[in-house]
Amino acid sequence: MQLYDEYQPYPSRKIEGLNKIAEEIRNFKGLDIAKNATHAVPGEGNPDAQIMFIGEAPGQVEDQTGRPFVGQSGQLMRKVLFETTGIKPEEVFITNIVKFRPPDNRDPVPEEIEACRDWLDRQIIVIEPKIICTLGRFSMAKFIPDVTISRIHGQSRFIDFLSHRYIVFPMYHPAAALRGTGTFNEFKADFAKLHQLLTTPSPIKEPASPAPVVQTSLF
């Protein structure tokens, strides 16, 4: 599936916007995980992406390379994306809730999520994706609080976020898919649903009343 014309230049305001955010992230030293990082991991991909994947936080390989989702679980995610939908990883934008590696891959703490929130919000505003795929419970909770991932993964919904309506599609984190065959099969099935979401003109109904506004202002 080809989503983009390779010869179509990306809008320069998007490239500039994302570069500025990435530079701020790389220069930030306000958290211990930022001071201790080998590399910050701002995110990468198509500035004009229709799909944005948001994970949790960089792991060891991401910290070493400065690139998101390039370790074992990331390679699985990129492979299943391409094999199931035909979409190349460079056609989407891939980032995380937290932009620096927590030690020993522990869960990010609220202070770290909050310190990185503004960068992620601005990345979403600049890219304006059609679909936001959350990978794992931390990024899901940003848009859909108080739910469990096993109950709602693979179910798309409209979410109004920062004055814009997005389709949010919660998915398991690929690390969970690596741990068990059952979750792996569900993870793969969700990518097939994502493909449907992209190719069906009106895959989900607009809400009758405005969807809950998760957050109303950025600045």
> Which one of residues 45, 59, 108, 154 is an interface residue with ligand URA (CB under 6 A)?
59
Task: Tell me whether residue 62 or residue 91 sits nearer to ligand URA (CB atom).
Answer: 62
**With binding defined as CB under 6 A, does residue 47 bind ligand URA?**
no
State which residue, 57 or 126, has the beta carbon closest to ligand URA: 57
**Going residue by residue from 65 to 94, which x/- string records binding to ligand URA, judged by CB under 6 A?**
---xx-x-xx--------------------
Q: Does 43 bind ligand URA (CB under 6 A)?
A: no
Q: Which ranges of the chain would DSSP assign to H, the alpha helix?
A: 12-27, 32-35, 60-65, 72-85, 110-127, 137-143, 149-152, 174-179, 181-199
Among 31, 40, 53, 56, binds ligand URA (CB under 6 A): 56
Q: Give Dmax (Cα) for the chain.
A: 48
Closest to ligand URA by CB, 16 or 111: 111
Q: Supply 71's token pair.
A: 């370790």
Rounded to whole angstroms, the Cα distance separating 64 from 141 reads 27
Cβ within 8 Å of residue 89, ≥6 positions away = 45, 78, 81, 82
Ranked by CB distance to ligand URA, the top (closest) residue is: 55
First to last CA, the chain: 37
Tell me the window of 55-63, 118-126, 145-153, 184-192 that interacts with ligand URA (CB under 6 A).
55-63
Does position 123 interact with ligand URA (CB under 6 A)? The reply is: no
Please report how close the Cβ of residue 168 comes to ligand URA at its closest, in angstroms: 17
Half-sphere exposure of 132 (CA within 13 A, CB side): 30
Instruction: DSSP for 126-177, please give it.
Output: HH--SEEEEESHHHHHHHS-S--HHHHTT--EEEEETTEEEEEEEE--HHHH
Kindly state whether residue 55 participates in binding ligand URA, applying the rule CB under 6 A: yes
Our finding on whether 108 is near ligand URA (CB under 6 A) is no
- The region of 9-17, 51-59, 107-115, 178-186 touching ligand URA under the rule CB under 6 A is 51-59
Tell me how far apart the alpha carbons of residues 107 and 103 are, in angstroms, rounded to a whole number.
Answer: 9
160, β-bridge pairs = 165, 213
Binding site for ligand URA (CB under 6 A): 55-59, 62, 68-69, 71, 73-74, 96
